[in-house]
Each structure stands twice: as structure tokens, then as C-alpha cells.
A and B are shown apart, each in its own frame.
Chain A
Amino acid sequence: MIGTPSRPTRAVTGWLLVLPATVVLAAFTHLPIVTTLIASLHSRATAIRPARFVGLDNYRSLAADPVFWKVMGNTVAFAFGTVPVSIALALAMALWVNRRIAGRGLLRLAFFLPTMLPMIAAANLWLFFYTPDIGLLDQCLGLAGLSGHNWLGDPSTALPCLMAVTIWKESGFFMIFYLAALQGLSAELREAAMLEGAGPVAYFRRVLFPLLMPTTLFVSINAVLNAFKMVDPLFILTKGGPSNASNLLLYYIYENAFSFNDGATAATLTVVLLGLLAVLAISQFVLLDRRVHYR
């Protein structure tokens, strides 16, 4: 009576199991990708003039839009500025709280806490830090005898200020992944390395870091994708200003779609972002894959 179910039955069961999730994914990921592509080939619709097919016109006007290039540059700079630092800090934090260190529990909480704060709330607190003259940062500079700086109002510091907030927010989250990986490594490993005469630096470089490579791969893919989708702090801190100096791709999409009511440009920008994300994910995987040491 109890036998192995036949292959076709198992195939049907398999299909039924994956069906609900697939439908939701298709409805809110795959279908919108297709409709975005279509929308990017049509003109902006208003109540008076409906959208019409315009081919690649939207892409051409985007290519001619200096703000678009500024935003792209910012987004890339943002990724380069935040990802390596976040990952390095995450690793350092994980190494620290993985060791016997005074007040380990509190340290771990301190590092992880930003992850639990909504970015919107955190950005408001950071706004106080950055506010010229009365803000905490300028007060600290004042104590050191230095004059204040218009942090968010200076195009050369606005984007770095956003980067700092992002690094602060994300490092603790990545730390958890490193911590999990570190605790999975056996303690003898370190002792064995020490017996071989390796110093702490050599141990880290030759043993630990290569062993952590899969984690680094996972974390860095996540970090890069996050960087390209970063948007929350802009709503509070800079609104992309001054003069687009801190504008990022997803915020520019939001502006076009909702502030300018220009769905066509927003769709075109979305296609650009989708393309970027795809290329990034694939190339990163291929590049890092070769260097990952799998256990």
C-alpha cells in the first residue's frame, strides 16, 4: 500500500508546491519588469495626451540629460564609497565580538543596533549631527578649535555624509553574517596555525580571510545591490541636493514618477537600474566565484 509515488505524481506535487510563490513572484517581479520595458518605449501620458509608442526616444533624452549622468556617477561613487568600508568594518566588528573582550554583549548590541533603527528615524538624528553651527559635529569641531562646516549644503560633502550614515547603518547587519561564519570555524584551527609559527596577521591573511571568502561573497553582493537601491536617507537629509550633488538613482526614479508625474522617464530609468543590477550580480558572482575557497 505504501509505495514510492510515481514520477508524474511527484512532478505534479512539485509544481503545486512551488506554484503559490511563483505566482506572487511573477505578479510583482517578472510581470512589472516586462511592463516597465514597454512603458519605457512610450511617451509620457497626461489626461489630455495619451501615451504613444516612441521607440528609443526616452533613452535618447535620458542620455542627453546631464542630471541623469550626475545621478549615475553619484550612485557608482556611493557604492564604491560604502561597500568596502562597510565590509571591512563588519569583519573587524565580528572579529572583536567573537573574542573575549570586555563588555562583549554590549559591544555586539552597539554594533547591531543601527540595523534595528528605521533609516528614516536615524536620518533625522544624523540631520542634527550635520546641521551647521548647532549640530553635534560642528560643536565637536568647535571644541577642537576648528570652524564649522555646512556639511549637507556643500556639494563636496553632501554625498560623503550620506555614505557615512549608510556605513553606520549596514556594517552591523553584515557583522552578523561574519560572526556566524567565525563561530562555525573550529578553535583548533587557530591553535594549529599558531603552532606552525604564524603570527596573528599571517593567520588572518592566510587562513581566516580565505575561509571567510564565501561570506564575503554573500555580503558583498548584498552590499552592492543595497547601494544601488539606496534611497531612504535622501528623503530626510538632502532630497538629492544641493543641485543633485547627492541624488541617487532610485530617488531620481521616485522624483520622476511621483513629483514630476513622468512615468515614461521613470520607466526608462528603472530599466537602466534593472540592467545595472543584473550585470552587477552576474559579474560579481563570476569574478568572486573563482577566488572563493569552498570547504
Chain B
Amino acid sequence: MFGRLTRAALTAAALLASSAAPFAAGAVDLTMYYPVSVGGPLTKVIDGMVADFEKRNPDIKVNAIYAGNYDDTRVKALAALKGGQPVQLSVLFSIDAYDLIEQDAIVPFEDVATTAEDKSWLSSFYPGLMANGVINGKTWGIPFQRSTIVMYYNKTAFREAGLDPDHPPATWTDMIAAAKKLTRTDGSRWGLMIPSTGYAYWMFGALAKENGETLMSADGTRTYFDKPPVVEALQFWRDLAVRDHVMPEGTIEWGTLRQAFVEGKTAMMWHSTGNLTEVRKSAPFDVGVAMLPANRAPGSPTGGGNFYLFKKATPAERAAALKLVRFMTEPERAAEWSIATGYMGVSPAAYETPALKAYVKDFPPAAVARDQLAVSTAELATYQTGRVRKLLDDAIQSALTGAKTPAAALTEAQDQADRLLKPYR
């Protein structure tokens, strides 16, 4: 028995050793982590893009690891760094920049992108998408899977309710009026759903922006959770359920909302534009996409993931990592990625590629997120982002579930955020 055990242990050890065998010498190995937070078989798309890159750069080997949602991926990448494992770059949350800087984990792109060509590449992106990545005058994050929130709506349901499917509501008042018509009293269809788990603070950033206020200062050291327009925005969100009865009470799950929309359980939903392709593919009805309705102003926060370069890397690895980032954000790649997902083409040049041009012409909703960029704002990002976000998420959820009033919940969150951020001012 022990003989057999020893043999089993030896086999296991041998298998372990072989799986960790190094690649051929001379080549550069890159490891990158990336998240997926919207629908569709996106790991396949990334794998395909990486394979293309390797074909063109035979001396660079890329190990692209899907690590879950944005939080999971940051945890994994940082854990790998701390554990002494090689990670040279990653796609992480655009709002993680402050934390990554505080942890001394990343380097600004200016340190690596030094040629004139590199520099013009750095300025080729939509400025709105750089808002979360540029801190203290340096570029820490390069936009990759970037989004804004858009309003998806069921055109068939619109027609059924006597609404014009080509003129989706553009103001809060119109949205409520439409939602009331769309809501069936027997509970078989809701008018509107705004998700409040996972990324509640993000949705809330849109409501606050539409009510004329941002959630934080540009330097990430102050939050504005208790300003009156912000409190009003949360009251509005809560009222959608309890006053207007067009949205279910309680929190709405981010992950399953797409299914609920596709199943026709809600006529409108707010969600990431990154879901567009999957929604379009799986919905048995005509899908409309609109910019978010305005109250005092139109707008949505940007969202999604940026490329970051990690500090722990040799010069050769950094150069290779930059090469990969440049490849992944080339207009052709950005167009391919946008068509596969619904995420934005990150540069104006992407929308000039034949592929994306043709796609937008055939399917105009694909350009809604880009058009909304003109009125976008940065996503909630501060020092200690994880904790501050959780404070706001908790406040939103306790207001939506009726545990606290919006004012009380937000004042409390603001007090705690102040305490957390004071040392950074």
C-alpha cells in the first residue's frame, strides 16, 4: 500500500514538475490576467487575439489568464505579484489605478512608451476614456474593454404598449411615463430594471451625473455622497420601485438581469454596453439601445477595464508588454473587440476601420455608447477604492431595500469615506 502511495506521490510530483517546465530560452514570456464581466464567450475572443499577436511576434509568448470579474482579477494579479509570480501586465478595473499606485505595483506608460510613435499612440484614445487612467499627469491605464451604461429596451414591448420604438424616453419624466405603460399589473413584465448588485455605485454614478453632480473629486481624495443632488438621485431610484411601481423592490442582480431582459421580464434595462452583442444575439425580439435619459443633464460614467503595466518586470518584458498593449488597442483589434462584445472602440480611428464602419451602419445601436462619451464622466475612483465603493454600494442597497432613507444612508457613507480618505488629502 505504501509502495503504491509512494508511486502515486512520485507521479504527482513528476506531473507537477512537467507542467511548470520553462519555455524555450531567449524568448520573452508574458503573463497577463484579464476579467470578463459581461455576456458572451469572450475568453475565446481574447485567446484568438493573443494567438494573432504571438503569430506576429514569435519571440513573445503570452499567457493570458481569465480570472473572473474585476474584483477577482485584481485580487489574483496582486496576489501573484506578492507571491513572487511573474505578471507583467493585466487588464484591471479602470478605477483600481489609485490602489495600484498606492501598492507601488504599476508603472506609468510614459516610462516605457518613449519613442515619438509611442507618444502619439498614447494620445490616440478618446479623452473621456483616459479620465480614470491619468493621475497626476501620468498615464497609468490604457483603455481596453471600456463601456458606458446604456438603456436597452424591448421594441416589441414598446409597440405593444403604444409607444414609439424609435423614440425611446430621453428624460427621467418620460422614462417613468413609458415604464408605467410598459409595466403589466399582473407582474409578468416590469417597466424598468437598474441593477443594484455588483456595480451599484456605477449605475448610481449615472443617476448622480444626470442630476448634475459627480460622486468624487478628480484627485480621488474626496467623495460627494451627501450632496443634495446625489441624495435626490438615490431617492429617485428608490421611488421607481415604491412610488411609481415600475421596478421590483429590493436589489436587482447584475449577473442575471440580462437573462431577465431577454426573457421579456423587463421592458427596459440599464446595463453595460459591453453586453450589447450577447443581448442582441439571445433576445427573441427587436432590441433598441438608447443613451441614458437626462434629468438636469445627460450622461453616464465610463466603465470597464484598462491595461496596466506592472513594476516587477525586466526591461525586455516591459517592452514586450507594451508591444502587446499596443497590438490589442490597434484600431483593427479595437474594432474586432467592439463587434464581438459591444464595448467601445477605444479610439476614433477604430470607428474609421471598414469593419466597424460597416457594423455600425448595419446596427446603429453599436455607436450609442460612443456618442454618449461626449457627456460621460469618470467612474467612482478614490484611494482605498475597494472600501469606498463598498460603502456606497451598501448605502445604495440599504436605501433601495428600505432599510434606511437615502439621506441617512448616504450621509453615513460620506462620514465613513471622509474618515478613510482624510490621510490622503
Binding partners A and B: yes
Task: Say whether A259 contacts B75, CB under 8 Å.
Answer: yes
Q: Does A244 touch B at the CB level, under 8 Å?
A: yes
Task: Say whether B197 contacts A150, CB under 8 Å.
Answer: no
Task: Say whether B196 contacts A242, CB under 8 Å.
Answer: yes
Nearest chain A CB to B267 CB, angstrom units? 13
- Residues in chain B within 8 A of chain A (CB atoms): 71, 75, 78-79, 99, 102-105, 187-188, 190, 196-198, 248-253, 256, 259-260, 263, 265, 384, 386-387, 390, 393-398, 400-401, 403
Task: Say whether A155 contacts B401, CB under 8 Å.
Answer: yes
Task: Say whether B75 contacts A67, CB under 8 Å.
Answer: no
Using CB atoms, name the residue of chain A closest to B395: A243
Task: Say whether A261 contacts B253, CB under 8 Å.
Answer: no
The answer, among A67, A132, A260, for a CB contact under 8 Å with B394, is A67
Task: Say whether A150 contacts B249, CB under 8 Å.
Answer: yes
The answer, among B104, B188, B263, B398, for a CB contact under 8 Å with A47, is B104
The answer, among A47, A154, A238, A255, for a CB contact under 8 Å with B249, is A154
Per CB-CB distance, the 10 closest pairs between chain A and chain B, nearest first, are: A153-B250, A47-B104, A243-B397, A153-B251, A150-B250, A242-B397, A243-B398, A242-B251, A154-B250, A133-B265
Cα distance, A153 to B251, chains bound together (Å): 4
Q: Which residues of A contact B390 (CB under 8 A)?
A: 255, 259-260
The answer, among A67, A148, A150, A258, for a CB contact under 8 Å with B251, is A150
Q: Does A232 touch B at the CB level, under 8 Å?
A: no
Task: Say whether B79 contacts A48, CB under 8 Å.
Answer: no
Given contacts A260-B390, A261-B99, 6 further A-B contacts (CB under 8 A): A131-B253, A131-B259, A150-B250, A155-B398, A242-B397, A244-B394
Q: Which residues of B contact A131 (CB under 8 A)?
A: 253, 256, 259-260
| Most chain A CB within a 10 A radius of its CB, from B250, B256, B259, B387 | B250
Q: Say whether chain A's binding surface is mostly helix, strand, loop, or mixed.
A: loop
Q: Does A239 touch B at the CB level, under 8 Å?
A: yes
Cα distance, A258 to B79, chains bound together (Å): 8
Q: Which residues of A contact B396 (CB under 8 A)?
A: 243
Q: Does A152 touch B at the CB level, under 8 Å?
A: yes
Nearest chain A CB to B245 CB, angstrom units? 12
Q: Does A283 touch B at the CB level, under 8 Å?
A: no
Using CB atoms, name the residue of chain A closest to B187: A147
Task: Say whether A47 contacts B403, CB under 8 Å.
Answer: no
Using CB atoms, name the residue of chain A closest to B259: A134
Within 8 A of B (CB), among A148-177: 148, 150, 152-155
Task: Say whether B260 contacts A242, CB under 8 Å.
Answer: no
Q: Does A127 touch B at the CB level, under 8 Å?
A: yes
Task: Say whether B197 contacts A153, CB under 8 Å.
Answer: yes
Task: Say whether B259 contacts A260, CB under 8 Å.
Answer: no
Cα distance, A133 to B397, chains bound together (Å): 20
Task: Say whether A243 contacts B103, CB under 8 Å.
Answer: no
Using CB atoms, name the residue of chain B closest to A255: B390
Using CB atoms, name the residue of chain B closest to A70: B394
Q: Which residues of A contact B398 (CB under 8 A)?
A: 155, 242-243
Task: Say whether B403 contacts A239, CB under 8 Å.
Answer: no
Nearest chain B CB to A148 CB, angstrom units? 6
Cα distance, A46 to B105, chains bound together (Å): 11
Task: Say whether A241 contacts B384, CB under 8 Å.
Answer: no
The answer, among A127, A153, A238, A260, for a CB contact under 8 Å with B387, is A260
Q: Which residues of B contact A243 (CB under 8 A)?
A: 393-398, 401, 403
Interface string of A115-134 (1 = CB under 8 A from B): 00000000000010001111
Known contacts A150-B250, A261-B386, A48 near B102 by CB under 8 Å: yes
Known contacts A131-B253, A134-B263, A46 near B103 by CB under 8 Å: yes
Q: Which residues of B contact A260 (CB under 8 A)?
A: 384, 386-387, 390
| Most chain B CB within a 10 A radius of its CB, from A131, A155, A243 | A243
Task: Say whether A261 contacts B250, CB under 8 Å.
Answer: no
Task: Say whether B253 contacts A153, CB under 8 Å.
Answer: yes
Task: Say whether A242 contacts B75, CB under 8 Å.
Answer: no
Cα distance, A179 to B190, chains bound together (Å): 49
